[in-house]
Structure 1
């Protein structure tokens, strides 16, 4: 069984654990950007308080050239990190958004 198969099995065994889906999204980024985007969308929809998703999902959409979606994901992540009082994630998301905005100018 390869890594992707293991991650798919984990998602099937415990679909309520966002970490399983997060790992799957990151793995899909290496080989299948469409499936990565679908999995990030699933995470953002079903597990909006799972803060690690926002950084990588926003980066995914920025790399895909979807400026509107990338900005929206960064901003939602900043909001969620603020609500969760997750200072580390908040700093990372704000910094990533600033870097990304500088690249788009």
Structure 2
């Protein structure tokens, strides 16, 4: 986690509050060391920017890691539907593969 990068991203978020990338980038900075902060940002992105596809993979994984099974399942399924709608084959394949692993782990 880089504190200078975090400060810069927070500044970008305040300057461009409607740009989902800045909040996503900040969530990724927190992803390894501050899981609750990362998850909070990812949930905010899902609520405020439901068409921002990159959020779904990371949010679902973090929920899965924390054994939030039902919420992770919902995020995976919504992300898969969104990837299909956006015709993003790479994201679709990644989400489907991760979801399959999630289902195996869940059982």
* TM interval, short-chain normalised: over 0.9
List 4+ stretches of structure 1 deviating above 6 A.
none
Q: Could you say which residue in structure 2 is the equivalent of 1:22?
A: 24
Q: Deviations over 1:41-69 (max 9, x none)?
A: 11001111110110000001001110011
Residue matched to 1:82: 84
Paired residue total: 105
The TM-score, its normalising length taken from structure 2, stands at 0.93
Structure 2 residue ranges without an equivalent (≥5): none
**In 2, Cα distance between equivalents of 1:34 and 1:42:** 12
| Alignment-derived partner of residue 68 in structure 1 | 70
Q: Which runs of 5+ in 1 are unaligned?
A: none
Quote the Cα distance in structure 2 between the aligned partners of 1:98 and 1:19.
27
Question: SS of 2:32's equivalent?
Answer: helix
CA distance in 1, matches of 2:22, 2:5: 12
Counterpart Cα distance in 2 of 1:61 and 1:26: 14
The alpha-carbon deviation at position 104 of structure 1 amounts to 2.1
